[in-house]
Structure 1
Amino acid sequence: MTTTGPRVEEGYAPVTGGVRMYWRSVGEGGPPLVVVHGGFGVVEMFGDVLERLAAGRRVVAVELQGHGHTADVDRPFTWEAFADDVAALVGSLGPGPADLLGYSLGGGVVLRTAIRSPEAVRRLVVVSAPCRRDGWFPDVRAGQESVSSAGLEWMRRTPLYEAYAAVAPDVDAFPALMDKTGALISGDYDWTDEVRALTLPVLLAYADADGIPPAHAAEFFALLGGGLRDAGWDGSGRPASRLAVLPGRTHYDVFAAPELAPVVDAFLTAGG
């Protein structure tokens, strides 16, 4: 008997600022789920989580400006530009909003997308990202401030660089990627008030040994109306948003954890 896997497609979408964003689609059905990698990442960083999620829907993984297959342009990295790129990508998929999932840097990007373009987003999944910069542990923030091309030789020995070099249209652009990423993640931001104003359902997912303390995860969840009261014996007081803490995971493996997929799937299918 011959079996076939999920449908796989790939291509480039013109988004904003002259960027042609690489995307890879797995599975069929909708609404589609658009997935955004972390810093220096490519679509493969999620392991088989994408295929697990694609069992019942179309999953579209993208690569941001200067990452992976997506060539860089003469534009700094900003949360707003990345968010507008993702919103434009969603618009290219067809009518109707999409679900968004982002990890770490990508979590900040999809959060900004929901804030700036709420009409483009049905449900939002933020994995291992805070809603303000001081939500990271102090040592993580210090590490972010040291990210630059000065660390190129060290990065050359990492799996992140190897994955980039395998697909990038210009491997010599990696130092610029490091400098632009460092400038982005070391800048201050606080989206507290904008998060509080969100009306769409949001799933926040963290590792129990993340780069973000559980206290911030709880605070972020409270801004979305979660964890403020008992839900009642029948669950009628349960908020639309959810908080998941995956045990035995860290910031550096939670994105590819097999247990992440069923948590995300249950959230995306809640309420039909």
Structure 2
Amino acid sequence: MSYVEVDGLRLWYEEHGEGRPLVLLHGGFGAVETFGAILPALAGRRRVIAVDLQGHGRTADVDRPLRYESMADDVAALISRLGLTEVEVLGYSLGGGVALRTAVQHPALLRRLVVVSAPCRRRGWYPEVLAGMPEPDEAAGERMRGTPPHQLYARIAPRPGDWPRLWAKTGELLRRDYDWSAEVAALTVPTLLVFADGDSVTTAHMVEFFGLLGGGHRDAGWDGTDRPASRLAVLPGLTHYDIVASPALPAVVLPFLTRPARAPG
């Protein structure tokens, strides 16, 4: 458990387990504790490196906006600083966007990518989810005091008083439009998309996202040889908010990470 200096940011990370490195990136208003329920399963097969992103958890904010792109550069700098190669990256929700941008901006660093409950374009969220995205601001942060995310932040953040600021900066990020479809279509890293069947991302976008990665265009053939390198998993009985704590998540992630590159089936 330590900090690393990256572009003026003291980025918190902690390591668990042994084996091939797997970087974990939490969702908005979270921290490495987001993965507490599934960490033992992942660390049993991987050297897990869990990160607190800018302004979250133990990583204090700095004087720059929250952007998927800059947080991806932070992750890449951490990977390089630790001397890691052929890294696997798993990101959930906001962290899923950061993981995807890491693959786009620094493709040579990644062996595998796992995106959990995150779209590749803003309009992949359901309309009612988008309608709520203008809300995060300092006032919303004040209303969230006493909730579990705030209790965690108050316990571990270097500056607990920055809680309203985190909400305001996150709100500004969420209101920005984006569409990374063309960059996703150009990715070559094998990618696993994981969603809940009750996710905040539309089912139509799940299929669209998978299609950009080469999936869903043809029958895989009797022996699976025409199956793409990337995969899509939709986990039943879960939502955007509980998928990251479900044992079903490592159950689909670990086989994907451990299979030979571009092997069928």
Match of 1:117 among 77, 90, 106: 106
Unpaired segments ≥5 residues, structure 2: none
Q: Which residue of 2 aligns with 1:199?
A: 188
The separation in 1 between residues aligned to 2:131 and 2:105, in whole angstroms, is 28
* Aligned residues of 2:31 and 2:52 also touching (Cα < 8 A): yes
1:242 alignment partner AA: R
The separation in 1 between residues aligned to 2:236 and 2:35, in whole angstroms, is 18
Residue 178 of structure 1 aligns to a residue whose secondary structure is: helix
Match of 1:235 among 199, 219, 224: 224
The Cα offsets for residues 195-218 of structure 1, whole Å up to 9 and x where unpaired, read as 000001000000000001111000
- TM-fit CA distance, 1:93: 2.2
The Cα offsets for residues 143-190 of structure 1, whole Å up to 9 and x where unpaired, read as 111111111232113111111111001110111111111111110000
The separation in 2 between residues aligned to 1:57 and 1:153, in whole angstroms, is 38
* Aligned residues of 1:90 and 1:97 also touching (Cα < 8 A): no
Which deviates the most, 147-156 or 198-207? Answer: 147-156
The percentage of counterpart residues that share the same residue type is 58
Q: Which residue of 1 aligns with 2:29?
A: 40
Q: Which residue of 2 aligns with 1:28?
A: 18
Match of 2:250 among 251, 254, 261: 261
Q: Does 1:88 align with 2:74?
A: no
Residue 130 of structure 2 aligns to a residue whose secondary structure is: helix
* Aligned residues of 2:142 and 2:164 also touching (Cα < 8 A): no
What does 1:166-205 align with in structure 2 at a 5 Å threshold? Answer: 166-205=155-194
TM-score, with normalisation over the residues of structure 1? 0.94
The Cα offsets for residues 196-253 of structure 1, whole Å up to 9 and x where unpaired, read as 0000100000000000111100000000001111101111111110000010000000
1:54 alignment partner AA: A
- Cα RMSD over matched residues? 1.0
- TM-fit CA distance, 1:48: 2.3
Residue 264 of structure 1 aligns to a residue whose secondary structure is: helix
Q: Which residue of 2 aligns with 1:5?
A: none
Q: Which residue of 2 aligns with 1:12?
A: 3
- TM-fit CA distance, 1:13: 1.2
What does 1:10-159 align with in structure 2 at a 5 Å threshold? Answer: 10-16=1-7, 18-30=8-20, 32-159=21-148
Which deviates the most, 34-43 or 157-166? Answer: 157-166
Residue 83 of structure 2 aligns to a residue whose secondary structure is: coil
The separation in 1 between residues aligned to 2:131 and 2:155, in whole angstroms, is 29
The separation in 2 between residues aligned to 1:189 and 1:112, in whole angstroms, is 12
TM-score, with normalisation over the residues of structure 2? 0.96
The separation in 1 between residues aligned to 2:69 and 2:172, in whole angstroms, is 14
The separation in 2 between residues aligned to 1:49 and 1:12, in whole angstroms, is 23
The separation in 1 between residues aligned to 2:246 and 2:36, in whole angstroms, is 8
Return structure 1 stretches of 4+ with deviation > 3 angstroms: none
- TM-fit CA distance, 1:89: 1.0
